[in-house]
Amino acid sequence: MSWNALRPTLLRLHFYAGILTGPFLLVAAVTGLLYTATPQIEAIVYRHELRVTPDGAPETLSAQVAAAREAVPGGTLVSVTPAPGRTDSTRVVFEKPGLPENVTQTAFVNPYTGEVLGQERTFARWWMPVRAWVDGLHRHLNLGEPGRVYSEIAASWLWVEILGGLALWLTAPRARGRVRRILVPQGGPKGRKRTMSWHAVIGVWASAGLLGLSVTGMTWSVHAGASIGRIQSALTGPTPAISTTLSGPADEETSGAGSGPANDVGMDAVVASAHAAGLRGVMNVSPPSGGQAAYVVEENTRSWPERHDTVAVDPATGEITDRVNWADQPLVAKMTSWGIDAHMGLLFGLANQIVLALLALALIGMLLWGYRMWWLRRPTRTEGRALGRAPARGGWRRLPGRFLAPAVLVTAVIGYYVPLFGLPLLCFLAVDLAAGSLRRRRDVRTETSA
Protein backbone atom coordinates (compact mmCIF):
# COMPACT_ATOMS: atom_id res chain seq x y z
CA MET A 1 0.00 0.00 0.00
CA SER A 2 1.36 3.44 -0.94
CA TRP A 3 1.50 6.35 1.51
CA ASN A 4 -0.45 8.44 -1.01
CA ALA A 5 -3.48 6.20 -0.41
CA LEU A 6 -3.31 6.59 3.38
CA ARG A 7 -2.47 10.29 3.56
CA PRO A 8 -5.97 11.68 2.74
CA THR A 9 -7.60 9.58 5.49
CA LEU A 10 -4.96 10.56 8.04
CA LEU A 11 -5.28 14.23 7.03
CA ARG A 12 -9.04 14.17 7.50
CA LEU A 13 -8.72 12.46 10.92
CA HIS A 14 -6.06 14.97 11.98
CA PHE A 15 -8.36 17.80 10.92
CA TYR A 16 -11.48 16.56 12.71
CA ALA A 17 -9.58 15.57 15.86
CA GLY A 18 -7.86 18.95 15.97
CA ILE A 19 -11.07 20.92 15.50
CA LEU A 20 -13.18 18.98 17.98
CA THR A 21 -10.62 18.14 20.71
CA GLY A 22 -8.74 21.42 20.34
CA PRO A 23 -10.77 23.22 23.05
CA PHE A 24 -10.01 20.42 25.55
CA LEU A 25 -6.33 20.54 24.69
CA LEU A 26 -6.26 24.33 24.93
CA VAL A 27 -7.78 24.33 28.42
CA ALA A 28 -5.34 21.60 29.50
CA ALA A 29 -2.40 23.61 28.12
CA VAL A 30 -3.43 26.89 29.77
CA THR A 31 -4.14 25.32 33.16
CA GLY A 32 -0.97 23.23 32.88
CA LEU A 33 1.03 26.41 32.21
CA LEU A 34 -0.43 27.91 35.38
CA TYR A 35 0.41 24.74 37.32
CA THR A 36 4.10 24.97 36.41
CA ALA A 37 4.39 28.11 38.56
CA THR A 38 2.74 26.69 41.70
CA PRO A 39 6.00 25.92 43.59
CA GLN A 40 7.04 29.57 43.35
CA ILE A 41 3.52 30.77 44.19
CA GLU A 42 3.41 28.50 47.25
CA ALA A 43 6.82 29.69 48.41
CA ILE A 44 5.51 33.27 48.44
CA VAL A 45 1.97 32.73 49.74
CA TYR A 46 2.90 30.29 52.52
CA ARG A 47 6.39 31.52 53.35
CA HIS A 48 5.43 32.28 56.97
CA GLU A 49 4.41 28.63 57.44
CA LEU A 50 6.99 26.82 55.30
CA ARG A 51 10.19 28.68 56.20
CA VAL A 52 11.89 29.27 59.57
CA THR A 53 15.08 30.90 60.80
CA PRO A 54 17.54 28.44 62.37
CA ASP A 55 17.93 29.17 66.07
CA GLY A 56 19.97 26.71 68.10
CA ALA A 57 19.10 23.05 68.50
CA PRO A 58 15.68 21.78 67.34
CA GLU A 59 13.04 20.64 69.79
CA THR A 60 12.31 16.94 69.93
CA LEU A 61 9.89 15.70 67.30
CA SER A 62 7.56 14.46 70.06
CA ALA A 63 7.40 17.99 71.52
CA GLN A 64 6.63 19.43 68.09
CA VAL A 65 3.81 16.92 67.59
CA ALA A 66 2.44 17.71 71.07
CA ALA A 67 2.30 21.42 70.19
CA ALA A 68 0.46 20.59 66.96
CA ARG A 69 -2.04 18.43 68.85
CA GLU A 70 -2.93 21.36 71.10
CA ALA A 71 -3.46 23.54 68.04
CA VAL A 72 -5.74 21.00 66.33
CA PRO A 73 -8.12 19.71 69.04
CA GLY A 74 -10.16 16.72 68.02
CA GLY A 75 -7.79 15.81 65.20
CA THR A 76 -6.49 12.30 64.60
CA LEU A 77 -2.78 12.20 63.83
CA VAL A 78 -2.15 10.84 60.33
CA SER A 79 1.48 11.56 59.60
CA VAL A 80 4.44 13.75 60.46
CA THR A 81 7.02 15.13 58.05
CA PRO A 82 10.09 16.21 60.04
CA ALA A 83 11.73 19.37 58.71
CA PRO A 84 13.92 18.08 55.84
CA GLY A 85 16.19 21.16 55.85
CA ARG A 86 17.46 23.68 58.43
CA THR A 87 15.07 26.38 57.17
CA ASP A 88 12.00 24.14 56.78
CA SER A 89 9.09 23.73 59.16
CA THR A 90 7.74 20.41 60.41
CA ARG A 91 4.39 19.30 58.99
CA VAL A 92 1.95 17.51 61.30
CA VAL A 93 -1.10 16.15 59.47
CA PHE A 94 -4.46 15.38 61.09
CA GLU A 95 -7.78 14.02 59.99
CA LYS A 96 -10.78 15.92 61.33
CA PRO A 97 -14.51 15.25 61.11
CA GLY A 98 -16.28 17.30 58.49
CA LEU A 99 -13.37 17.66 56.07
CA PRO A 100 -13.90 16.65 52.42
CA GLU A 101 -12.43 13.39 51.12
CA ASN A 102 -8.62 13.43 50.75
CA VAL A 103 -8.45 16.73 52.64
CA THR A 104 -6.52 16.94 55.91
CA GLN A 105 -5.66 19.63 58.45
CA THR A 106 -1.94 20.33 58.61
CA ALA A 107 -0.17 22.25 61.37
CA PHE A 108 3.21 23.80 60.57
CA VAL A 109 5.61 23.83 63.51
CA ASN A 110 8.86 25.74 64.00
CA PRO A 111 11.27 22.92 64.91
CA TYR A 112 13.51 25.29 66.93
CA THR A 113 10.84 26.84 69.15
CA GLY A 114 7.92 24.40 69.00
CA GLU A 115 5.66 27.28 67.90
CA VAL A 116 2.77 26.43 65.60
CA LEU A 117 3.23 28.81 62.68
CA GLY A 118 -0.19 28.21 61.16
CA GLN A 119 -2.64 25.67 59.80
CA GLU A 120 -3.85 24.86 56.31
CA ARG A 121 -6.26 22.44 54.73
CA THR A 122 -4.07 20.22 52.59
CA PHE A 123 -4.96 17.81 49.82
CA ALA A 124 -3.38 14.33 49.69
CA ARG A 125 -1.44 15.28 52.86
CA TRP A 126 1.04 17.64 51.25
CA TRP A 127 -0.57 19.84 48.55
CA MET A 128 -1.16 23.33 49.86
CA PRO A 129 -4.49 25.03 48.99
CA VAL A 130 -3.10 27.00 46.03
CA ARG A 131 -1.55 23.92 44.41
CA ALA A 132 -4.65 21.85 45.15
CA TRP A 133 -6.90 24.45 43.49
CA VAL A 134 -4.70 24.81 40.39
CA ASP A 135 -4.28 21.03 40.16
CA GLY A 136 -8.04 20.60 40.40
CA LEU A 137 -8.50 23.21 37.66
CA HIS A 138 -6.06 21.35 35.41
CA ARG A 139 -7.40 17.90 36.22
CA HIS A 140 -11.17 18.40 36.36
CA LEU A 141 -11.91 22.17 36.17
CA ASN A 142 -12.69 21.96 39.92
CA LEU A 143 -15.94 20.22 39.02
CA GLY A 144 -15.10 16.91 40.66
CA GLU A 145 -15.21 13.55 38.92
CA PRO A 146 -17.50 14.65 36.03
CA GLY A 147 -14.95 17.30 35.08
CA ARG A 148 -12.21 14.72 34.58
CA VAL A 149 -13.79 13.80 31.25
CA TYR A 150 -12.25 16.90 29.69
CA SER A 151 -8.66 16.13 30.75
CA GLU A 152 -8.95 12.48 29.79
CA ILE A 153 -10.16 13.41 26.30
CA ALA A 154 -7.20 15.78 26.01
CA ALA A 155 -4.68 13.15 27.13
CA SER A 156 -6.28 10.40 25.05
CA TRP A 157 -6.12 12.41 21.82
CA LEU A 158 -2.92 14.41 22.20
CA TRP A 159 -0.72 11.46 21.18
CA VAL A 160 -2.95 10.78 18.15
CA GLU A 161 -2.65 14.38 16.98
CA ILE A 162 1.11 14.50 17.54
CA LEU A 163 1.88 11.22 15.75
CA GLY A 164 -0.53 12.01 12.91
CA GLY A 165 0.89 15.49 12.49
CA LEU A 166 4.46 14.16 12.45
CA ALA A 167 3.57 11.61 9.78
CA LEU A 168 1.90 14.23 7.61
CA TRP A 169 4.69 16.82 7.97
CA LEU A 170 7.68 14.49 7.60
CA THR A 171 6.27 12.94 4.41
CA ALA A 172 5.04 16.17 2.81
CA PRO A 173 6.50 16.69 -0.69
CA ARG A 174 9.34 19.22 -0.77
CA ALA A 175 11.36 20.32 -3.78
CA ARG A 176 14.49 21.37 -1.87
CA GLY A 177 15.83 22.18 1.57
CA ARG A 178 14.00 19.19 3.05
CA VAL A 179 15.65 19.05 6.50
CA ARG A 180 15.61 22.83 6.92
CA ARG A 181 11.94 23.09 5.99
CA ILE A 182 11.11 20.31 8.49
CA LEU A 183 12.97 21.90 11.40
CA VAL A 184 12.89 25.66 10.70
CA PRO A 185 9.66 27.68 10.36
CA GLN A 186 9.09 29.17 6.94
CA GLY A 187 9.26 32.95 6.49
CA GLY A 188 7.72 34.97 3.72
CA PRO A 189 4.33 36.64 3.43
CA LYS A 190 1.58 35.89 5.90
CA GLY A 191 -0.74 33.14 4.83
CA ARG A 192 -1.71 29.52 5.24
CA LYS A 193 1.69 28.12 4.21
CA ARG A 194 3.58 30.12 6.81
CA THR A 195 0.99 29.33 9.47
CA MET A 196 1.22 25.62 8.66
CA SER A 197 5.02 25.78 8.81
CA TRP A 198 4.98 27.25 12.33
CA HIS A 199 2.25 24.82 13.44
CA ALA A 200 4.19 21.80 12.17
CA VAL A 201 7.78 22.79 13.03
CA ILE A 202 6.93 23.65 16.63
CA GLY A 203 5.12 20.31 16.76
CA VAL A 204 8.27 18.50 15.61
CA TRP A 205 10.40 20.12 18.30
CA ALA A 206 7.80 19.59 21.06
CA SER A 207 6.62 16.13 19.97
CA ALA A 208 8.66 14.01 22.41
CA GLY A 209 7.64 16.06 25.43
CA LEU A 210 3.98 16.25 24.42
CA LEU A 211 3.84 12.49 23.84
CA GLY A 212 5.27 12.02 27.34
CA LEU A 213 2.62 14.33 28.81
CA SER A 214 -0.10 12.42 26.95
CA VAL A 215 1.04 9.03 28.24
CA THR A 216 1.61 10.17 31.84
CA GLY A 217 -1.68 12.06 31.82
CA MET A 218 -3.52 8.88 30.89
CA THR A 219 -1.89 6.91 33.73
CA TRP A 220 -3.91 8.74 36.38
CA SER A 221 -7.07 9.29 34.35
CA VAL A 222 -10.24 7.49 35.41
CA HIS A 223 -10.91 5.11 32.53
CA ALA A 224 -7.62 4.79 30.67
CA GLY A 225 -5.74 4.86 33.98
CA ALA A 226 -7.68 1.86 35.25
CA SER A 227 -6.85 -0.05 32.06
CA ILE A 228 -3.17 0.88 32.31
CA GLY A 229 -3.15 -0.24 35.94
CA ARG A 230 -4.61 -3.65 35.04
CA ILE A 231 -2.10 -4.11 32.24
CA GLN A 232 0.76 -3.08 34.53
CA SER A 233 -0.35 -5.55 37.22
CA ALA A 234 -0.62 -8.33 34.65
CA LEU A 235 2.89 -7.65 33.37
CA THR A 236 4.72 -7.10 36.66
CA GLY A 237 2.53 -8.66 39.34
CA PRO A 238 1.54 -6.91 42.58
CA THR A 239 3.75 -4.08 43.84
CA PRO A 240 5.58 -5.01 47.09
CA ALA A 241 3.79 -3.55 50.13
CA ILE A 242 5.07 -2.95 53.66
CA SER A 243 3.77 -5.21 56.43
CA THR A 244 2.80 -3.47 59.67
CA THR A 245 1.93 -6.70 61.47
CA LEU A 246 4.09 -7.46 64.50
CA SER A 247 5.14 -10.95 65.50
CA GLY A 248 4.15 -10.53 69.14
CA PRO A 249 0.75 -9.62 70.62
CA ALA A 250 -0.18 -5.99 70.13
CA ASP A 251 -0.42 -3.75 73.19
CA GLU A 252 -4.07 -2.77 73.40
CA GLU A 253 -3.49 0.10 75.85
CA THR A 254 -3.04 3.35 73.98
CA SER A 255 -1.97 6.81 74.99
CA GLY A 256 -4.32 8.69 72.64
CA ALA A 257 -5.86 8.57 69.20
CA GLY A 258 -3.26 7.84 66.59
CA SER A 259 -0.39 7.76 69.09
CA GLY A 260 0.17 4.02 69.40
CA PRO A 261 0.69 1.79 72.44
CA ALA A 262 1.38 3.14 75.94
CA ASN A 263 4.98 1.82 75.92
CA ASP A 264 5.74 3.63 72.67
CA VAL A 265 9.43 4.44 72.28
CA GLY A 266 8.42 7.76 70.74
CA MET A 267 8.62 9.30 67.32
CA ASP A 268 12.19 10.54 67.81
CA ALA A 269 13.43 6.99 68.38
CA VAL A 270 11.42 5.77 65.38
CA VAL A 271 13.00 8.40 63.13
CA ALA A 272 16.42 7.54 64.53
CA SER A 273 15.86 3.88 63.62
CA ALA A 274 14.83 4.90 60.10
CA HIS A 275 17.98 7.03 59.75
CA ALA A 276 20.08 4.13 60.96
CA ALA A 277 18.40 1.99 58.28
CA GLY A 278 19.56 4.44 55.61
CA LEU A 279 16.43 6.51 55.07
CA ARG A 280 17.00 10.23 54.54
CA GLY A 281 15.67 13.28 52.76
CA VAL A 282 11.94 14.02 52.95
CA MET A 283 10.31 11.42 55.21
CA ASN A 284 6.72 10.78 56.26
CA VAL A 285 6.12 9.09 59.61
CA SER A 286 2.73 7.41 60.12
CA PRO A 287 1.90 6.29 63.69
CA PRO A 288 0.12 3.03 64.52
CA SER A 289 -3.62 3.40 64.18
CA GLY A 290 -6.59 1.18 63.45
CA GLY A 291 -5.32 -2.22 62.29
CA GLN A 292 -1.77 -0.90 61.88
CA ALA A 293 0.49 -2.18 64.67
CA ALA A 294 3.80 -0.61 63.62
CA TYR A 295 5.01 2.82 62.67
CA VAL A 296 5.61 3.31 58.95
CA VAL A 297 8.40 5.60 57.83
CA GLU A 298 8.56 6.27 54.08
CA GLU A 299 10.91 8.40 52.05
CA ASN A 300 9.14 10.90 49.80
CA THR A 301 11.99 12.38 47.76
CA ARG A 302 10.36 13.00 44.37
CA SER A 303 13.30 14.80 42.77
CA TRP A 304 16.00 12.93 40.87
CA PRO A 305 17.27 10.51 42.10
CA GLU A 306 13.99 9.53 43.68
CA ARG A 307 13.95 7.78 47.04
CA HIS A 308 10.91 5.83 48.23
CA ASP A 309 12.29 3.21 50.65
CA THR A 310 9.82 2.31 53.41
CA VAL A 311 10.35 0.68 56.81
CA ALA A 312 8.02 -0.57 59.54
CA VAL A 313 9.17 0.12 63.11
CA ASP A 314 8.07 -1.71 66.25
CA PRO A 315 6.69 1.00 68.58
CA ALA A 316 7.72 -0.96 71.68
CA THR A 317 11.37 -1.57 70.76
CA GLY A 318 12.18 0.79 67.89
CA GLU A 319 13.39 -2.15 65.79
CA ILE A 320 12.83 -2.43 62.04
CA THR A 321 10.28 -5.20 61.43
CA ASP A 322 9.89 -4.95 57.66
CA ARG A 323 11.34 -3.04 54.73
CA VAL A 324 10.40 -2.36 51.11
CA ASN A 325 13.14 -0.89 48.95
CA TRP A 326 12.50 1.40 46.00
CA ALA A 327 15.19 -0.51 44.11
CA ASP A 328 13.06 -3.67 44.35
CA GLN A 329 9.99 -2.11 42.75
CA PRO A 330 9.12 -3.33 39.21
CA LEU A 331 10.65 -1.21 36.46
CA VAL A 332 7.20 -0.39 35.03
CA ALA A 333 6.10 0.97 38.42
CA LYS A 334 9.25 3.07 38.65
CA MET A 335 8.77 4.43 35.15
CA THR A 336 5.18 5.34 35.99
CA SER A 337 6.32 7.20 39.10
CA TRP A 338 9.10 9.01 37.22
CA GLY A 339 6.71 9.97 34.45
CA ILE A 340 4.08 11.35 36.83
CA ASP A 341 6.64 13.34 38.81
CA ALA A 342 8.10 14.74 35.58
CA HIS A 343 4.56 15.64 34.47
CA MET A 344 4.11 17.51 37.77
CA GLY A 345 7.42 19.35 37.45
CA LEU A 346 8.97 17.64 40.47
CA LEU A 347 11.58 15.31 39.00
CA PHE A 348 14.21 17.84 37.88
CA GLY A 349 13.23 20.94 39.80
CA LEU A 350 13.26 24.33 38.08
CA ALA A 351 14.54 22.89 34.79
CA ASN A 352 11.55 20.52 34.76
CA GLN A 353 9.16 23.44 35.34
CA ILE A 354 10.71 25.47 32.51
CA VAL A 355 10.43 22.56 30.05
CA LEU A 356 6.78 22.02 31.01
CA ALA A 357 6.04 25.72 30.56
CA LEU A 358 7.65 25.69 27.11
CA LEU A 359 5.65 22.60 26.13
CA ALA A 360 2.42 24.26 27.28
CA LEU A 361 3.23 27.39 25.27
CA ALA A 362 4.12 25.26 22.25
CA LEU A 363 0.80 23.40 22.43
CA ILE A 364 -1.15 26.66 22.79
CA GLY A 365 0.63 28.06 19.74
CA MET A 366 0.04 24.90 17.69
CA LEU A 367 -3.67 24.94 18.50
CA LEU A 368 -4.09 28.61 17.62
CA TRP A 369 -2.16 28.14 14.36
CA GLY A 370 -4.28 25.08 13.61
CA TYR A 371 -7.53 27.03 14.00
CA ARG A 372 -6.09 29.84 11.92
CA MET A 373 -5.32 27.38 9.10
CA TRP A 374 -8.92 26.21 9.25
CA TRP A 375 -10.14 29.81 9.03
CA LEU A 376 -7.85 30.57 6.10
CA ARG A 377 -9.43 27.67 4.16
CA ARG A 378 -12.86 29.33 4.29
CA PRO A 379 -14.56 30.29 1.02
CA THR A 380 -13.95 33.99 0.35
CA ARG A 381 -16.34 34.63 -2.55
CA THR A 382 -19.55 33.34 -1.06
CA GLU A 383 -22.16 35.47 0.62
CA GLY A 384 -22.26 35.44 4.40
CA ARG A 385 -19.84 33.78 6.74
CA ALA A 386 -18.43 30.33 6.24
CA LEU A 387 -16.01 28.17 8.18
CA GLY A 388 -12.93 26.59 6.73
CA ARG A 389 -13.35 23.59 4.47
CA ALA A 390 -12.38 20.13 5.66
CA PRO A 391 -9.91 18.02 3.65
CA ALA A 392 -11.49 15.81 0.98
CA ARG A 393 -13.50 12.90 2.37
CA GLY A 394 -13.75 9.29 1.25
CA GLY A 395 -10.04 8.50 1.35
CA TRP A 396 -10.57 5.40 3.48
CA ARG A 397 -12.47 3.73 0.61
CA ARG A 398 -9.22 3.59 -1.38
CA LEU A 399 -7.39 1.71 1.38
CA PRO A 400 -6.80 -2.00 0.64
CA GLY A 401 -8.60 -4.47 2.84
CA ARG A 402 -5.35 -6.09 4.04
CA PHE A 403 -4.50 -2.77 5.69
CA LEU A 404 -7.97 -1.54 6.62
CA ALA A 405 -9.04 -4.69 8.52
CA PRO A 406 -6.09 -4.80 10.99
CA ALA A 407 -6.21 -1.01 11.35
CA VAL A 408 -9.87 -1.18 12.39
CA LEU A 409 -9.08 -4.03 14.80
CA VAL A 410 -6.18 -2.16 16.45
CA THR A 411 -8.28 1.00 16.70
CA ALA A 412 -11.12 -0.95 18.32
CA VAL A 413 -8.77 -2.45 20.91
CA ILE A 414 -7.31 0.96 21.74
CA GLY A 415 -10.81 2.41 21.92
CA TYR A 416 -11.84 -0.32 24.37
CA TYR A 417 -8.95 0.31 26.75
CA VAL A 418 -8.98 4.10 26.21
CA PRO A 419 -12.72 4.79 25.95
CA LEU A 420 -12.38 8.57 25.67
CA PHE A 421 -10.36 7.97 22.54
CA GLY A 422 -12.88 5.50 21.13
CA LEU A 423 -16.09 7.45 21.85
CA PRO A 424 -14.91 10.74 20.29
CA LEU A 425 -13.65 8.74 17.30
CA LEU A 426 -17.17 7.41 16.80
CA CYS A 427 -18.43 11.00 17.03
CA PHE A 428 -15.94 12.06 14.33
CA LEU A 429 -17.19 9.27 12.09
CA ALA A 430 -20.80 10.24 12.73
CA VAL A 431 -20.05 13.89 11.90
CA ASP A 432 -18.21 12.86 8.75
CA LEU A 433 -21.06 10.60 7.60
CA ALA A 434 -23.61 13.31 8.35
CA ALA A 435 -21.56 15.88 6.42
CA GLY A 436 -21.29 13.50 3.47
CA SER A 437 -25.02 12.81 3.54
CA LEU A 438 -25.85 16.53 3.59
CA ARG A 439 -23.50 17.21 0.70
CA ARG A 440 -25.02 14.40 -1.39
CA ARG A 441 -28.53 15.72 -0.75
CA ARG A 442 -27.45 19.23 -1.70
CA ASP A 443 -25.83 17.95 -4.89
CA VAL A 444 -28.99 16.02 -5.78
CA ARG A 445 -31.14 19.12 -5.25
CA THR A 446 -28.74 21.16 -7.36
CA GLU A 447 -28.84 18.66 -10.19
CA THR A 448 -32.64 18.44 -10.00
CA SER A 449 -33.10 22.19 -10.09
CA ALA A 450 -30.70 22.43 -13.03
Helix (H, G, I), strand (E, B) or coil at 107: strand
Rounded CA gap, 253 and 323, in Å? 26
pLDDT for residue 390: 65
Rounded CA gap, 6 and 66, in Å? 69
Rounded CA gap, 12 and 70, in Å? 64
Residue 255 DSSP symbol: S
- What is the β-pairing status of strands 90-95 and 76-81? antiparallel
- Any idea where the domains of the chain sit in the sequence? 1-46+128-239+331-399, 57-125, 243-329
Rounded CA gap, 45 and 392, in Å? 53
CB atoms within 10 A of CB 190: 8
- Contact yes or no for 117/110 (Cβ under 8 A): yes
Q: Which CATH class is domain 57-125?
A: alpha beta
Give the C-alpha distances (Å, rounded to integers) separating 294 from 77, 78, 339: 14, 13, 31
pLDDT for residue 395: 61
Region of 35 please: left (phi>0), alpha (psi -120 to 50) or beta: alpha
Closest CA relative to residue 346, chosen from 300, 384, 291: 300
Residue 1 DSSP symbol: -
Closest CA relative to residue 136, chosen from 102, 94, 95: 102
CB atoms within 10 A of CB 347: 19
Rounded CA gap, 450 and 448, in Å? 5
pLDDT for residue 252: 47
Q: Would you write out the chain's pLDDT as a tens digit for each of its 450 residues?
A: 566 778 888 888 899 889 989 999 999 999 999 999 999 999 999 999 999 999 999 999 999 999 999 999 999 999 999 999 999 999 999 999 999 988 999 999 999 999 999 999 999 878 899 999 999 999 999 998 899 999 999 999 999 999 999 999 998 877 666 788 889 988 777 788 899 999 999 999 999 999 999 999 998 888 888 888 887 777 777 778 899 998 765 444 444 444 455 678 999 999 999 999 999 999 999 999 866 799 999 999 999 999 999 999 999 999 999 999 999 988 888 998 999 999 999 999 999 999 999 999 999 999 999 999 988 887 665 555 566 666 666 666 666 777 778 888 998 999 988 999 999 888 888 877 787 778 777 777 776 765
57-125 matches 243-329 in fold: yes
Instruction: Report the length, in residues, of the chain.
Output: 450
243-329 classified as CATH 1.10.10:
no
